[in-house]
Each structure stands twice: as structure tokens, then as C-alpha cells.
Amino acid sequence: MNTIVKMILPAAVFALASAGAASTQPAKGDASKALITGYIQFNNNPQDCRPVQVDCTTFNTGQLCMDPSDTNQVYQKDEGLLECTVPLYKIN
């Protein structure tokens, strides 16, 4: 009886741990699908910021974030300066 418990118990614990880990992981890509409010500079004026919803991040991925029409670079607003000057980046 002891040998059966010693063999089956570790396998059962491993199976439960694996199932628990898999069920608590977010689906890959879910975090990247969250739209955030970015800002475009109107007339290249960093103090005239127009909001736009984008799928971007502050983490430098090497590709600048552009607005949905792909014509304007998107920034995050620097609350201290009240200007949109912090670049956002595309999520890969």
C-alpha cells in the first residue's frame, strides 16, 4: 500500500499543479489587445494633444506607435509638462 501511495501521490500532485498553472495564465496576446489612450500632436505642437485609442506600449520595441491612419506618431502625455512628448511603441 505504501509503495502505491509513494508512486501515485507525486504524479497526482504534479497533475494538479500543472492544471492550476495552466488555468491561471492569461491567454497569450490578451495584454497586447488592450487599447490605451495615446495622443497625437496637432500641428506638431506638443502642447496641443489630441487623444486617440491605440494598441501601444511605453516599452521600447524599436517601432514607433502610429495612429490608426498610420500618419501621425502617438505619444503619452507628460503630466508634469502637460505635453504629449513621451513616445509610445508598437506591440510586437
Give pLDDT tens digits for 6-16.
Answer: 667 666 656 65
Provide the mean pLDDT of the chain: 80
Indicate whether 33 pLDDT > 80: no
pLDDT, average across residues 19-44? 68
| pLDDT score at 11 | 65
Residue-by-residue DSSP string for the chain: -HHHHHHHHHHHHHHHHHHHHHHHSPPTTTGGG--EEEEEEGGG-TTSEEEEEE-EESS--SSB-B-TTSSSB-EEEETTTTEEEEE-EE--
> What is the pTM for the complete model shown?
0.61
